[in-house]
């Protein structure tokens, strides 16, 4: 009897790990698709969308809207500015404020860009009844706690890697840059 209970528990843990791996893999695949079709990372795309949706917006307002630090937003803006997708101007009314604007190239890029993964999630999530939404939130928070990840600072972006990184074709494709590649040591 005890053996079958242990087997059932291990099967359930396997189901959890498979589901988590699917979420991670879906996020990774979407990030790669986005990078391939637009040359941008998901955070870069979301930042462009934020500027488009908000109109004249300061870096602080972008940071607040995206739940990122101003330093992270500035880093992402720097990369987007190098690609001629955004430009910044000091406010005429308050010289302490800097506004970010889309270039015509960015506006064009956003028309054909794939939807961010979280928009698909949002549409499906909003169709669920309140009790099910609450259950999902509670379950995911519990899983994060069980993985001792409740203290990890994370913004509400579905993406893999550092938020202010370059798109994959501009950087090394090493997925785990801080870990030794055990295969290359053999």
1 lies in a domain? no
Percent of the chain with pLDDT over 90: 37
* Arithmetic mean of pLDDT over the chain: 81
Please provide the DSSP assignment of the chain as one string: -HHHHHHHHHHHHHHHHHHHHHHHHHHHHHHHHHHHHHS--HHHHHHHHHHHHHSSEEHHHHHHHHT--HHHHHHHHHHHHHTTSEEEEE-SS-TT-EEEEE-HHHHHHHHHPPPPHHHHHHHHHHTS-HHHHHHHHHHHHHHHHHTT-TTS---S---SS-TTPPPGGGS---S-TTS--GGGG-
What pLDDT is recorded for position 177? 37
111 lies in a domain? yes
How many structural domains are present in the chain?
1
65 lies in a domain? yes
Mean pLDDT of the region 82-87: 95
Residue 173: pLDDT over 50: no
5 lies in a domain? no
129 lies in a domain? yes
Residue 163: pLDDT over 60: no
Residue 44: pLDDT over 70: yes
Residue 72: pLDDT over 50: yes
What pLDDT is recorded for position 184? 39
Domain residues for 18?
A: 11-170
176 lies in a domain? no
**pLDDT one-digit tens code per residue, 104-159:** 999 999 988 877 777 778 889 999 999 999 999 999 999 989 999 878 776 666 55
Mean pLDDT of the region 46-51: 91
Give the CATH number, domain containing residue 152.
Answer: 1.10.10.10
113 lies in a domain? yes
What pLDDT is recorded for position 169? 44
115 lies in a domain? yes
């Amino acid at each position: 009897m005890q053996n079958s209970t242990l087997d059932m528990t291990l099967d359930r843990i396997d189901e959890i790990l498979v589901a988590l791996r699917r979420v991670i893999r879906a996020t990774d695949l979407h990030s790669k698709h986005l990078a391939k079709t637009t040359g941008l990372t998901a955070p870069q795309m979301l930042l462009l969308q934020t500027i488009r949706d908000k109109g004249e917006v300061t870096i602080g307002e972008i940071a607040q809207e995206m739940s990122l630090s101003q330093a992270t937003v500035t880093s992402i803006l720097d990369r987007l500015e190098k690609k001629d997708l955004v430009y910044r101007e000091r406010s005429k009314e308050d010289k302490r404020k800097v506004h970010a604007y889309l270039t015509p190239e960015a506006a064009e890029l956003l028309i054909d860009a794939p939807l961010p993964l979280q928009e698909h999630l949002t549409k499906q999530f909003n169709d669920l009844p309140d009790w099910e939404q609450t259950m999902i939130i509670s379950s995911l928070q519990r899983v994060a706690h069980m993985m001792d990840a409740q203290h990890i600072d994370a913004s509400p972006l579905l993406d893999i890697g550092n938020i202010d990184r370059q798109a994959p074709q501009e950087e090394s494709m090493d997925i785990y840059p801080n870990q030794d590649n055990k295969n290359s040591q053999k």
